[in-house]
Amino acid sequence: MAQTEKKGGLLRKSSASKKPLKEKVVLMYDEIFTTEDPSKCNPRFWEELFLMKVNLEYLESKLEALDGEELMKIKDNINCLFQHCIQALGEEHPIRVVNALQVPC
Residue 84 has pLDDT above 60, yes or no: yes
pLDDT score of 15: 60
pLDDT digits (tens, 9 = 90+) for 39-79: 999 999 999 999 999 999 999 999 999 999 999 999 999 99
Residue 19 has pLDDT above 90, yes or no: no
If we measure between CA atoms, which residue out of 55, 32, 45 comes closest to residue 88? Answer: 45
Q: Tell me what the mean pLDDT of segment 5-18 comes to.
A: 58
